[in-house]
Amino acid sequence: MILHEMETANRNLIEKQQLQDLQTTLISVYEHVPLYRSRFQELNLTPQNLQSLQDIQSFPFTTKKDLHRHYPFGLMAVKTNTLARIHASSGTSGKPTVVGYTKQDIHNWAKLVARAISIAGGQPGDMLQNAYGYGLFTGGLGLHHGAEELGVTVIPISGGNTDRQIMILEDLQPTILSATPSYALNIAERMIELGKDPRKSSIKIGMFGAEPWSEEMRKTLEEMFAIKACDIYGLSEVLGPGVAMECCEGQDGLHLAEDQFLIEVIDPETLKPLPEGQAGELVFTSLKKQAFPIVRYRTGDIASLTTEKCKCGRTTARMSRVKGRIDDMMIVRGVNVFPSQIEHYLIQVKNIAPHYQVCLKKSATLDEVELHAEITEDLYSAAGCDLFNPLIKGLEMEIQEIMKSKCLVSMKVILHPPKSLPRSEGKAVRIVDQRKQSLKATL
């Protein structure tokens, strides 16, 4: 096991270094980013007002709206002709979020991802099949350069073309697979379709992230591939993959790179800080970024923090698995529920495959929820391929009762034949919101 010196440092040393780097970051954004300078001045603040880590709570938040309003380069702290690389989000809700990196930023990022791969159990001499998408998305190139930095051989296959993924997996014998968990599941199922056994593959470690996934999904992937499945966390606005990584020893929270980021957890409603162990919205401040430093960025991700020492020996703070995103949270008749909560209970039901979608509809003035899930091949055959068979109808009722008692939401459950729901080659689409369409249909 390779340990970075900061991963086993005591809290006093970690926080002392964080304070120094935070003061430097605030000076940088104050001097070079007009938005931050004006925001600080509105609150009668200067970087010198920060004398302790707790003082950061007096400084303003940054939101995705700020990034959109200052698209594309308004929040850069360096001139664009000094950038080494540009990445961007998918921009599914409009213009993408553009982030920049200096050469030093790229170097630091590679070292950070190398640490993440090591935390997951990777080491020099391993081979990584990188099924994250390359291009403007940070996942592909982020993992790529970090693996090379560690001394891991990279297969830059990118996402998609599942049969080719399987051929490369068999022929080149990689020991690590990086992908979204939903796409890793897709690969495993396709292997079984082709008469191949995923458990006999060369993969020993799975580095899965870029979407919320449950403990039950981890168990499913570990069973299907006979691997250790570890969660990796990152977001382009903060850096990319490598911000936090789950260790293979504990698999109990993701180790945060506290020498690179200051992390807070706030109540998304009151914006007040929450105590250790309580779930809330993650807020990140970068500590060493040159091109695109960011202060108190509201991620929209819901998780909790702990500073308890991990069984692997690391002392850096750990974040829980992301429960969900604020914008993915469904509010149904006053009850809050995340797709990951539904997944948690659904996957435990016998004869249900780990594929589902939640469809939100509006009937008159009420929100309605439909849960679409797949049954297994065994059940489909036992029911004579008849979805109206009492076996299947009874299972629908059973799942409805589970969701009502566990998630506190009444939902209609519709079961589908095996392999009938959409498969993902990237981030899975778990929520389909048809409420506006439903409303128009009633007018």
CB proximity list for 164: less than 8 A, separation 6 or greater:
157
Cα gap 258→286, rounded to integer Å:
10
Cα gap 440→443, rounded to integer Å:
5
Q: Can you give the pLDDT at residue 437?
A: 56
Nearest residue to 241 via CA among 231, 252, 229: 231
Cα gap 347→123, rounded to integer Å:
32
Cα gap 22→159, rounded to integer Å:
36
Would you say 227 and 121 are in contact if contact means Cβ atoms under 8 Å apart?
no
Q: Which residues of the chain have pLDDT under 50?
A: 438-443
CATH topology of domain 1-324: Rossmann fold (3.40.50)
Where do we find the tokens 């509010």?
Answer: 331
CB proximity list for 231: less than 8 A, separation 6 or greater:
208, 209, 213, 218, 245, 246, 254, 321
Domain ranges for the chain, please list them.
Answer: 1-324, 329-442
Say if domain 329-442 classifies as CATH 3.30.300.30: yes
Ramachandran assignment for 210, one of left (phi > 0), alpha (psi -120 to 50 degrees), beta (any other): left
Q: Which tokens sit at 194?
A: 């082709």
Q: Can you give the pLDDT at residue 442?
A: 34
Residue 74, amino acid: G
**Sign of dihedral through CA atoms 419, 422, 426, 427?**
negative
Would you say 237 and 67 are in contact if contact means Cβ atoms under 8 Å apart?
yes
Quote the Cα angle for 54-56-61, to 5°: 140
Distances (CA, A) of 192 to 86, 200, 376: 39, 11, 13
Q: Can you give the pLDDT at residue 92?
A: 52
Beta strands in 223-291 (DSSP E): 228-235, 240-246, 254-256, 261-266, 280-286
Would you say 303 and 256 are in contact if contact means Cβ atoms under 8 Å apart?
no
Residue 353, amino acid: A
DSSP state of 19: H
Q: Can you give the pLDDT at residue 161?
A: 94
